[in-house]
Structure 1
Amino acid sequence: MHLFNKKISLLALFCAAFASATTLADVSWPKTPAAQLAKQRLQAFNTGDAAKLQAFKTAHEPDMQLERELAFRQMTGGFEALRVTQDDAGQVTVIIREHDGDRVGSMTLQLDDKDSKRVKSVSLKPMAIVPADLMPTRLSEQDAQQRLQRKAQKLLAEEQFAGNLLVARGGNIRLQQHFGDARRDTAQKHTANTQFRLGSMYKMFTAIAVLQLVERGQLQLDAPLITYLSDYPNTTLAKHTTLRHLLTHTGGTGDIFTDEYQQQRLNTREHADYIRLFGQRASEFIPGSREAYSNYGYVLLGRVIERVSGQSYHTYVHDHIFKPAGMRATGAEPEEQVRTQLSVGYMHSEKGLVNNQDTLPWRGTAAGGGYSTTGDLQLFAQALLSGKLISAQTLAAATRSQTPSGLYGYGFQLGGEGIARHFGHAGGAEGMNGALRIYPATGDVVIALSNMDPPAAESLVEYYGNRMPLVTPVATKSQ
């Protein structure tokens, strides 16, 4: 049964690389209750129709968050079912791919133990390593770049992307292009020097700072938080949560973007302010027992860096990361000081594209929110690969899987295997999106920064990374 014929044909016209897409979409759905409900749920989700999702919610999944599902549908364009990998009477797992991108993951639907017509839970997980037969065909560098540019132009025309792209290999820039407006009110265009907000990409800098202090013997990854923040309000959390837990999102420390934060957004300025706001909060689970993305965990790491180094977090990363790497356009100064020099963020709303200014924090933190350029991020990548910032041994540990999902190291998101193995980080919020991928075996670096909603920048990085040629540099023989 062809579930997504219309969308597949559009994809085929735009990127013929998915030679097996039509066959894979012809999923043979088992007749089990779980598989049939998964099929119905995907069909309802893919329509983007609130009434159809509400009907499924009423009949089968009362805990479904309708607004969240609709927003997710808008972001992804829906999902293409590729194959069923696990199926029994009470649970089914399906490999899926975004209609509007290359991202592949799995959807697991579990039925209620007492009612086979009711959904107990639905979980979506990205895949760190995608099966080879689900990957696009590798192209020549010229063809891959041409397709990347066409995709960026298409997203620009659809008002889904505006921003900068940079592709480098071995420290040499192979492609650098700019799309759309940095300021729509004055028609100011993006240039190579445009600074974009990074969101969670800033976590890479925090992780490198922590690892530098570990290399110097000033921090220990398995030391509990209370070792460095002896006055932390919730002593139970501080005694049982280690720096390793915080780096790998396994500490259960939760988020910072809560209703309480929103009420005090412009008065929450430094890492100590966040601790005053959330320091009494208990762990969401036993540290180390689960994996759940935590912005607050990285705020705590920022405060640890300040205590141990004797510098503000922002001064430390400038002196020990940005300056050695030659990154002159990266930082996290207060918004009121840098607003006029940054690309304006635009988010989609019922009124069309609007400025995201009223959603921004007072300044960036160790969890994210600073700014940079594609050129500076390329310098950061080269500084990492050349050993300027941390040793090769430490970088190898930081970019090796440290979590059950296989998706995260120490401050780096991971993917691929063999010559296609890559690490980096993405970041996104309303009116901002960016991604950096580093391929250590080939020396390739792919970067996209945008002043529009996710996931356009991330999808462009993934799109090119999945199609570019993978060539291992030829070692120079010593004389």
Structure 2
Amino acid sequence: MKYTITILTAVLLFLSIFSTPLVLAETLDDTTPSGVSFEDLDIFINEYVDEYIGETLTGASVILLKNGEVVFSKGYGLADMDNGKEVDPDTTLMEWGSVSKVVTWIAVMQLVEEGKIDLNEDISTYLPDSFLTKLSYSEPITMYHLMHHTAGFEEYLFDLGYSDPTEIVSLKEGLIKTEPNQVYPPGEVVAYSNYSTALAGYIVELLSGQSFDEYVKDHIFEPLGMDTTEYNVVNHEEMAKGYVQTGPGQFQEYQPFFMSLYPAGALSGSAMDLAKLASALTNQEEALTLFKDIETLNTFLTTSYSPVEGFAINAHGLWEYKGNYRGLGHGGNTDAFSANFHLVPEQQFSIVILTNQAGEIDVSIGLIEALVTEMDHSIDSNEGFEASSVEGTYLSGRRTHNSFINLYYYLIPLKVTSLNDNEINVSLAGMNATYVQTQPYLYEMVTGAPFYHTMKEIYFHVENGHVSKISAPISDYLPLPQSKASLYIQAVLFVICSVYFLLSPFVLIVRWIVSKIRREKVFKTVKWSTFIQLSGFGMLVNTIVLIIRMLSNFSRSYSDIKVHFIINYLFTGLITLSIILLSIYAVRNTLTKGQKFRSLISIVMAIMFLLLLMTWSFYQ
């Protein structure tokens, strides 16, 4: 009996020692990376999403996977508000936007595996002779540069997307039509580029001997059973309608999005189809459906770009994400849809979120943060350099340089201000975040708007005591190329010119009425000045209409706005001719002081206005 009790005691003691680790192991296996129990997922996600559905979001599909199996799948809100059709993650199709790029990079890695692509090779060896005509630097562009968005291309917005599918041209024609200028040396600046990804897709097309969409269908979609996924979907009965928010709880249906550069962002499909892709990238058995060797998957998910030791940004086209565990992912936006795709390879965990809402971040970004990172985490700061040394105003590296749209970026700069020796506030377009210095010049976000969850860490490159660049995922930020004083002066001069030319027609009408009453021949002596004023008025109105049209819809073809540039050239010619004739007239004839003053003001205002429009590229 005593022997039995002794054995029983030993068994109980053994169980008491090892029971806690067993429970912990089970708990870790049944939670999200942030620690949310799978049993509580329904309540947790419902409470999170319900806060936004109908308020800032029309509809969403949310799917979570663990070890290749779906642990949560649910649709929220409406796919079609007019008909009350609900979102179904299995059948509702939504635009993926730039999440489509993940498919392009998988295709590239498949050809790397076959030995057809060398990631370090000059891409000109794969392209037709003289295919790229706007390169400014002699250094070669490699596939790595395309993957890391460091090829040096400026942002080019025209002809990126269309609301009318009949405007689509072939991938090759689209690339030729929309080739951007190269404004940075290859490898120096991260500047997110749709063109780079589309160019990579074209290389896949050339080397595989198939059109890119056919290649992807044969080598990715069909092997994974992604039956609902295709590029540039037109009139599919299960396609959700996309919306933009016009006010609190108010939404307006918006146009679909079609692309010639389709490898960069034209896929539509169900959330379940995208979940199949996520599963194949986090489950080694399924990965062999995509790759012949599991090492290709491992390489694909390995960091390939890090601007400084300890700060990883990119893994072969996937953006790195700092959470409780290393994350990889890609977001996407079109004119009326938002999406996010997130992998946690170490945990074989993944999240897919699709929404039919333009510019949505609260769920597509915020929910992922809640599921992969503890919300109450704190960061220990280390000794570093005083935060005041990185204060300043910066512009996104991802911007246009040779178009009037460049002005838009000056209106939304990134502003950095120090809070104390180790903390900074970062502000962009009214959104703020607090960062703390964890290593010299390396800052990690503590709190901030969902937008900043895509740039959890930022690094300041300092040369000779000045910040030369801020490294961040998606886009680096660079110091203002012009001083604030210069920008303010230009803005003031533009306002003065605008007021002058806007008032000119009314002043001329008043003077014409007065001259009729007094029977004076006013226009005989100042007719060329009048032409200058009226031409300036016309040019100003044309420029304002151009700005309004672009701000209301960036998805335009160049041909749609080309007329505005032609009008500007015509008015410029008329103003120039009028200035010359007015000057000749003034030399040959005697003018009163009033006439001389009005003529001089007209000439000065016109020249100043033309110079400002040239400086801001309103002619191209």
Alpha-carbon deviation of 1:219?
A: 1.2
For 2:224, give the aligned amino acid.
A
Rate the CA distance shift 1:467–1:323 in 2: closer, same or farther, 3 A. farther
1:376-415 pair list within 5 angstroms: 376-384=273-281, 385-386=283-284, 387-388=287-288, 389-390=290-291, 391-403=293-305, 404=307, 406-415=312-321
Rate the CA distance shift 1:265–1:291 in 2: closer, same or farther, 3 A. farther
Q: Which runs of 5+ in 2 are unaligned?
A: 1-32, 376-620
In structure 2, how many angstroms separate the alpha carbons of the residues matched to 1:345 and 1:264? Answer: 15
SS at match of 1:426: strand
Instruction: Give the equivalent residue in structure 1 for 2:602.
Output: none
For 1:206, give the aligned amino acid.
T
Alpha-carbon deviation of 1:268?
A: 3.8
Q: 1:276 aligns with which of 154, 158, 176?
A: 176
Q: Deviations over 1:233-292 (max 9, x none)?
A: 41746972111100111111233423787799852433212222133x431200011211
Q: Deviations over 1:56-107 (max 9, x none)?
A: xxxxxxxxxxxxxxxxxxxxxxxxxxxxxxxxxxxxxxxxxxxxxxxxxxxx
Instruction: Give the equivalent residue in structure 2 for 1:218.
Output: 116
Instruction: Give the equivalent residue in structure 2 for 1:58.
Output: none
1:193-204 pair list within 5 angstroms: 193-204=91-102
Q: Deviations over 1:406-454 (max 9, x none)?
A: 222112122236x712222111233211112122222222111111122
Instruction: Give the equivalent residue in structure 2 for 1:463.
Output: 370
* Bigger RCO of structures 1 and 2 (CA < 8 A, at least 6 apart): 1
Rate the CA distance shift 1:234–1:157 in 2: closer, same or farther, 3 A. same
Rate the CA distance shift 1:364–1:340 in 2: closer, same or farther, 3 A. farther
Tell whether 2:224 aligns with 1:325.
yes
1:164-183 pair list within 5 angstroms: 164-183=61-80
Alpha-carbon deviation of 1:185?
A: 1.1
SS at match of 1:180: strand
Alpha-carbon deviation of 1:339?
A: 4.4
Alpha-carbon deviation of 1:223?
A: 1.5
Rate the CA distance shift 1:227–1:369 in 2: closer, same or farther, 3 A. same
In structure 1, how many angstroms separate the alpha carbons of the residues matched to 2:160 and 2:59? Answer: 32
In structure 2, how many angstroms separate the alpha carbons of the residues matched to 1:256 and 1:263? Answer: 17
Alpha-carbon deviation of 1:299?
A: 0.9
Rate the CA distance shift 1:393–1:463 in 2: closer, same or farther, 3 A. same
In structure 2, how many angstroms separate the alpha carbons of the residues matched to 1:271 and 1:143? Answer: 46
In structure 1, how many angstroms separate the alpha carbons of the residues matched to 2:213 and 2:126? Answer: 18
Q: Deviations over 1:202-244 (max 9, x none)?
A: 1010001011011101111111121111230417469721111
Instruction: Give the equivalent residue in structure 2 for 1:241.
Output: 141
Alpha-carbon deviation of 1:140?
A: 2.6
Kept after mapping to 2: 8 A contact 1:254/1:296: no
Q: 1:257 aligns with which of 145, 157, 161?
A: 157
Rate the CA distance shift 1:356–1:339 in 2: closer, same or farther, 3 A. farther
Kept after mapping to 2: 8 A contact 1:364/1:370: no
Q: In terms of Rg, which structure is larger?
A: 2
Which stretch of the first structure deviates more once superposed, 206-215 or 440-449?
440-449
Instruction: Give the equivalent residue in structure 2 for 1:209.
Output: 107
More helix by share: 2
In structure 2, how many angstroms separate the alpha carbons of the residues matched to 1:207 and 1:298? Answer: 8
Q: Deviations over 1:151-189 (max 9, x none)?
A: 111110313251111112112221111111111111111
SS at match of 1:415: strand
1:397-436 pair list within 5 angstroms: 397-403=299-305, 404=307, 406-416=312-322, 420-436=325-341
In structure 1, how many angstroms separate the alpha carbons of the residues matched to 2:159 and 2:171? Answer: 18
In structure 2, how many angstroms separate the alpha carbons of the residues matched to 1:301 and 1:199? Answer: 17
Q: Deviations over 1:132-162 (max 9, x none)?
A: xxxx973333335422211111110313251
SS at match of 2:149: coil
For 2:346, give the aligned amino acid.
A
Tell whether 2:203 aligns with 1:304.
yes
For 2:349, give the aligned amino acid.
D
For 1:184, give the aligned amino acid.
M
Instruction: Give the equivalent residue in structure 1 for 2:251.
Output: 353
Alpha-carbon deviation of 1:196?
A: 1.1
Sequence identity, in percent? 25
Q: Deviations over 1:93-124 (max 9, x none)?
A: xxxxxxxxxxxxxxxxxxxxxxxxxxxxxxxx
TM-score (norm 2): 0.49
Instruction: Kindly tell me the number of residue pairs found equivalent between the two proteins.
Output: 328
1:49-60 pair list within 5 angstroms: none
Q: Deviations over 1:357-383 (max 9, x none)?
A: 1x6225671111211222112211222
For 1:395, give the aligned amino acid.
L
Kept after mapping to 1: 8 A contact 2:198/2:261: no
In structure 1, how many angstroms separate the alpha carbons of the residues matched to 2:184 and 2:260? Answer: 29
Q: Which runs of 5+ in 1 are unaligned?
A: 1-135, 469-479
